Structure 1
Amino acid sequence: MSTQDTNKIAVCTDFTSIAQHAFEESIALAKKLNAEIHLVHVLLENSETEVTADKKMAKMVDQVKDQLGDIVVKFNVVDGGGDIVEELNKEVTKLAPAYFVVGYEVKKGLDRFFGPNIMKIVRGTKLPVLAIKEDETLKDLKDIVFPLNLWDYARQKTFATIRLAQRLGATIHLIGLDVDMTDGDRRDLKIFMNQLKKQFEEYGVRYTEAILQGDDEVSVVVNFANKIDADLVAKVFHHDPGLISRLRGNQDEETLVKSNMPLFVVKSTDYMQGNWSAMRG
Structure 2
Amino acid sequence: MQKILVPCDFSVSARRGLEFAVELAQATSGDIVILSVISQQQEDQKQAVMERYKEDFQNFVTNINQAVTIIQQIRFGRLLPAVLEMITLESVNQIVVGTRGSRGWESTFMGSNVEKVLRRSPVPVFAVNQKTHLKNLKSIVFPCDLVLRDDYGMGQFKKLQALLKARLHLLHVDTTLGIDKQILMQQVRDYAAFHSLKNLTINIVKDTDEKNGILHFSKEINADMIAMTTHGSADAAHMYGFSVSADVANHAHLLTWTCVQQSLASSFIKSK
Give the TM-score normalised by structure 2. Answer: 0.77
Q: Does 1:166 align with 2:149?
A: no
> Out of 176, 183, 186, which is 1:180 matched to?
176
Distance in 1 separating the partners of 2:11 and 2:259:
25
Q: Could you say what secondary structure the match of 2:205 adopts?
A: strand
Equivalent residues in 2 for 1:197-216, closer than 5 Å: 197-201=193-197, 205-216=198-209
Compute the displacement of 1:224 (Å). Answer: 1.7
Compute the displacement of 1:244 (Å). Answer: 8.0
The alignment yields a C-alpha RMSD, in angstroms, of: 3.5
Distance in 2 separating the partners of 1:242 and 1:87:
18
Distance in 2 separating the partners of 1:34 and 1:255:
29
Q: Does 1:123 align with 2:119?
A: yes
1:57 alignment partner AA: F
Q: Could you say what secondary structure the match of 2:36 adopts?
A: strand
Give the TM-score normalised by structure 1. Answer: 0.74
Q: Does 1:217 align with 2:210?
A: yes
Q: Does 1:191 align with 2:187?
A: yes
Seq. identity, %: 20
Compute the displacement of 1:136 (Å). Answer: 4.3
> Out of 187, 205, 223, which is 1:230 matched to?
223
Compute the displacement of 1:144 (Å). Answer: 1.3
Distance in 1 separating the partners of 2:176 and 2:152:
22
Q: Does 1:90 align with 2:85?
A: yes
Paired position in structure 1 for 2:30: 35
| Paired residues of 2:211 and 2:248 also in contact (CA < 8 A) | yes
| Paired residues of 2:184 and 2:204 also in contact (CA < 8 A) | no
Distance in 1 separating the partners of 2:258 and 2:264:
18
C-alpha spacing 1:52/1:18, structure 2 compared with 1 (3 Å): same
C-alpha spacing 1:188/1:231, structure 2 compared with 1 (3 Å): closer
Paired position in structure 1 for 2:60: 60
2:255 alignment partner AA: P
| Paired residues of 2:177 and 2:206 also in contact (CA < 8 A) | no
Distance in 1 separating the partners of 2:185 and 2:92:
33
Compute the displacement of 1:219 (Å). Answer: 1.8
C-alpha spacing 1:117/1:153, structure 2 compared with 1 (3 Å): farther
Q: Could you say what secondary structure the match of 1:166 adopts?
A: helix
Q: Deviations over 1:204-235 (max 9, x none)?
A: x4222122223322222112212222111112
Q: Deviations over 1:41-89 (max 9, x none)?
A: 22444613866543321112223x23x2x2x232131431x42321122
Q: Could you say what secondary structure the match of 1:116 adopts?
A: helix
Q: Matched residue pairs, number?
A: 253
| Paired residues of 1:237 and 1:268 also in contact (CA < 8 A) | yes
| Paired residues of 2:168 and 2:199 also in contact (CA < 8 A) | yes
Paired position in structure 1 for 2:244: 251
| Paired residues of 2:4 and 2:30 also in contact (CA < 8 A) | yes
Worse overlay, 140-149 or 51-60: 51-60
C-alpha spacing 1:232/1:96, structure 2 compared with 1 (3 Å): farther
C-alpha spacing 1:168/1:250, structure 2 compared with 1 (3 Å): closer
Distance in 2 separating the partners of 1:84 and 1:29:
23
> Out of 16, 21, 33, which is 1:26 matched to?
21
Equivalent residues in 2 for 1:75-114, closer than 5 Å: 75-80=71-76, 82-106=77-101
Q: Which 5+ residue runs of structure 2 have no aligned equivalent?
A: 266-272
Distance in 2 separating the partners of 1:224 and 1:123:
23
Q: Could you say what secondary structure the match of 1:15 adopts?
A: coil
Compute the displacement of 1:15 (Å). Answer: 1.9
Compute the displacement of 1:196 (Å). Answer: 2.4
Compute the displacement of 1:167 (Å). Answer: 1.6
1:195 alignment partner AA: Y
Q: Does 1:73 align with 2:69?
A: yes
Compute the displacement of 1:117 (Å). Answer: 1.3
1:10 alignment partner AA: L
Q: Could you say what secondary structure the match of 1:239 adopts?
A: coil
